[in-house]
């Protein structure tokens, strides 16, 4: 997906809101980005950034950028070890304050993401969504979202998707402002960082529950 000043189907007001906050924000936090990048390089090695293909608006693929939080440690069979075994102290710290997500601001500049929207998840989930759950892709994915401020990884997948679809149906700039302010509080209090029994969240395998009504 190429960079787009105004992605198709995205309200102009939302795009301007993203750019007005993101452009000066990146300038202000550039020393922090440099510091985190240096720490990741020292303690985790190269590459500094984690890159992965994720589905965006309409399911269109794009490359998401984050700071690395895990090693590439492998077992005797040469398969990557579990997340819990590859997570480092630096990685836990970055995740606890959502600092690993900061490079996604460049995705926002490119028009691939918004500051607020449903989180961009794994591509293999696309064929596991119900018709209702798939509506989360009717808007740009976000760095934070309604599901993130209502539990983040501590809630079930079904609840996350209900929150995502609710956001799609009820979007407004005021809602985005509310979510961003609440996100700051959630980051400070470190709520919902991981799902019980998991380093981050369990894989979504699909839902056999009846689709929620609108």
Residue 86 falls within a domain, yes or no?
yes
Q: Is residue 4 part of a domain?
A: no
Q: Is the peptide bond before 47 cis (omega within 30 degrees of 0)?
A: yes
Per-residue CA distances from 47 to 34, 40, 56, 153 (Å): 14, 9, 24, 26
In the chain, how many domains are there? 1
Does the residue 81 lie in any domain?
yes
Q: In this predicted structure, what is the pLDDT of residue 213? A: 39
CB burial class (10 A; 0-12, 13-18, 19+) of residue 141?
Answer: buried
Residue 186, pLDDT score: 83
CB 183 within 8 Å of CB 149 = yes
State how far the Cα of 38 lies from the Cα of 87, in Å rounded to an integer.
18
What is d(CA 25, CA 109) in angstroms, rounded to the nearest whole number?
A: 11
Q: Which residue ranges in the chain fall short of pLDDT 50?
A: 1, 196-198, 209-214
Q: What is the dihedral of CA 26, 27, 32, 38, to 10 degrees?
A: 90
In a domain, 1, yes or no: no
Q: 204 lies in a domain?
A: no
- In this structure, is residue 213 part of a structural domain? no
Say if 152 falls within a structural domain. yes
Grouping H, G, I as helix, E, B as strand and the rest as coil, residue 52 is: strand
Domain that holds residue 165: 12-189
In this structure, the number of other CB atoms found within 10 A of the CB of residue 7 comes to 20
pLDDT at position 187, please?
83
Collapsing DSSP to helix, strand or coil, 71 comes out as: coil
Q: Looking at the domain assignment, is residue 54 inside a domain?
A: yes
With H, G, I as helix, E, B as strand and everything else as coil, classify residue 64: strand
The burial class, CB within 10 Å (0-12 / 13-18 / 19+), for 196 is exposed
């Amino acid at each position: 997906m190429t960079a787009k000043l105004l992605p198709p189907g995205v309200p102009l007001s939302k795009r301007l809101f993203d750019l007005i906050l993101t452009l000066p924000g990146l300038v202000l936090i550039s020393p922090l980005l440099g510091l985190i990048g240096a720490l990741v390089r020292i303690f985790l090695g190269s590459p500094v950034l984690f890159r992965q293909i994720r589905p965006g608006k309409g399911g269109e693929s794009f490359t998401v950028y984050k700071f690395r939080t895990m090693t590439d440690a492998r077992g005797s069979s040469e398969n990557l070890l579990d997340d819990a075994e590859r997570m480092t102290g630096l990685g836990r710290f970055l995740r606890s304050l959502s600092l690993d997500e900061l490079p996604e601001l460049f995705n926002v500049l490119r028009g691939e993401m918004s500051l607020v929207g449903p989180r961009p998840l794994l591509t293999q989930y696309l064929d596991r969504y119900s018709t209702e759950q798939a509506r989360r892709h009717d808007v740009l994915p976000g760095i934070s979202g309604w599901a993130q401020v209502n539990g983040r990884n501590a809630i079930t997948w079904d609840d996350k998707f209900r929150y995502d679809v609710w956001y799609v149906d009820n979007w407004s700039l005021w809602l985005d402002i509310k979510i961003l302010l609440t996100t700051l509080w959630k980051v400070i209090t470190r709520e919902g960082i991981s799902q019980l029994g998991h380093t981050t969240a369990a894989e979504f395998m699909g839902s056999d529950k009846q689709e929620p009504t609108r």
